[in-house]
Amino acid sequence: MSDNVGKAEDFKKQAEKKLKGFGFFGNKYEDAAELFEKAANNFKLAKCWNDAVYCYEQLAECQLKSDSKHDAATAFVEASKCAAKLQPEKATNLLQKAVSLYTDMGRLNMAARQLKEIAEVNEKQGLKSEAITFYEQAADLFETEGSTSEATKCKLKIAEFSGEMGSYKRAVEIYEEAAKAAVENNLLKFSARGYLLNAGICYICYCSADDLDIKIAKYKDIDLQFEGSREAMLLDNVLEAFQETSVEKFATALADFDRVIRLDAWKTKILLEAKRRLESMAAGAEDEEEDLQ
């Protein structure tokens, strides 16, 4: 380990000396770049992350001086990976530099992948609003490049976070769109019912029971396999609970479904919000009955 640090420090000093010296036709930047790369690799092996970040950044700047944008973008990506160990915010900034270079070169697919990476960094930090912004940008570029499956993955993340943050309408739109696309693809068609269920449980968080009834019928038209499925039965039972403002029926519907298909954390969170809404509706109905007596 100490041997790697010693080598890295030596390479870094040589690289910095090269930059301070004279050079012809950009050769000093090429020579310095080679030395900074060696220094960065050794710092990385020694887990000296901040020093590795510095050397990768210097490498990127040398590559830019040599008009090697692709290599510079690669260096910024490597710098970001090291920065992510200790400085997530800096990691995001470095990836944005890579995105800018890839975009300038017309490498939109590479730019999209880095935007997705930025979104994932923000997601790990719990910064969901920020993650949504970068997933949106990534999805747009993936679609431009015809990478439909990658764009869909980004959009599903947006739907997931939108639902968690109470933006139910947006989540519903994305899940419905994903379901429509899935039924057209033999490899993905079995995912459609899951997307429709997610859309339905988000929908009940803000719509009326009558509107949910119409929505469920629409879902059965979108996916002909949806009717009679466990997912459809859950939405039908939830609808009945809301029509009767019965918290007990709602709880029973979830328990019945959960015994066969485990409710994941996301669905549980959204359904808890739906239950709170139903409880509020039930309490309001009780108050009206008392006023009439």
Per the listing, tokens 């429509």 go with: 180
Pair 272, 247: CB distance under 8 Å: no
- pLDDT for 40 beyond 90: yes
- Amino acid symbol at 100: S
Mean predicted confidence (pLDDT) in 261-270: 96
Q: What secondary structure letter does DSSP report for 190?
A: G
Give a three-class secondary structure readout of 61-112. Answer: HHHHHCCCHHHHHHHHHHHHHHHCCCCHHHHHHHHHHHHHHHHHCCCHHHHH
Tell me the per-residue pLDDT of 151-165, one tens digit each, with 9 for 90 and over. 999 999 999 999 999
Q: Which two tokens stand for residue 241?
A: 């609970």
Which pTM was predicted? 0.86
pLDDT digits (tens, 9 = 90+) for 77-93: 999 999 988 888 899 99
Query: Residue 245: pLDDT above 70?
Result: yes
Which of 5-14, 61-70, 82-91, 265-274 has the least mean pLDDT?
Answer: 82-91
| Mean of pLDDT values over 115-143 | 94
Q: Residue 269, Cα to own-chain centre: how many angstroms?
A: 18
Q: How confident is the model at residue 277 (pLDDT cuts 50, 70, 90)?
A: very high
Q: Would you say the CATH fold of 169-293 matches that of 1-105?
A: yes
Q: Check residue 1 and give its pLDDT.
A: 57
Tell me the percentage of the chain whose pLDDT exceeds 70: 95
DSSP state of 26: T
Q: Read off the pLDDT of each residue in 247-275 and give the average, rounded to a whole number.
A: 96
Domain 169-293 is classified in which CATH homologous superfamily?
Answer: Tetratricopeptide repeat domain (1.25.40.10)
Please, what's the b/e burial string for 129-165 (b: 16 or more CB within 10 A of its CB; e: otherwise)? ebbbbbbebbbebbbebebeebbbbbbbbbbbbbbee
Please check whether residue 39 is in contact with residue 55, taking contact to mean a CB–CB distance below 8 angstroms: yes
Helix 265-292 to helix 230-243 angle (10° resolution) is 20
Domain ranges in the chain are: 1-105, 116-165, 169-293
> What confidence score (pLDDT) does residue 282 get?
86
pLDDT at 292: 41
Percent of the chain with pLDDT over 90: 85
Q: For residue 223, give the nearest of 177, 259, 192 by alpha carbon.
A: 192
pLDDT for 291: 47
Residue 27 has pLDDT above 90, yes or no: no
Instruction: Look at residue 21 in the predicted model and tell me its pLDDT.
Output: 74
Domain 1-105 has CATH 1.25.40.10: yes
Q: Give the pLDDT mean for 183-200.
A: 94
* Mean local confidence (pLDDT), 223-239: 96
pLDDT digits (tens, 9 = 90+) for 93-104: 999 999 999 999
More confident residue, 60 or 18: 60
N-term to C-term CA, the chain: 82
Q: CA 54, CA 47: separation in Å to the nearest integer?
A: 13
Distances (CA, A) of 244 to 26, 28, 197, 236, 239: 78, 78, 21, 12, 9
- What does the pLDDT read at residue 24? 54
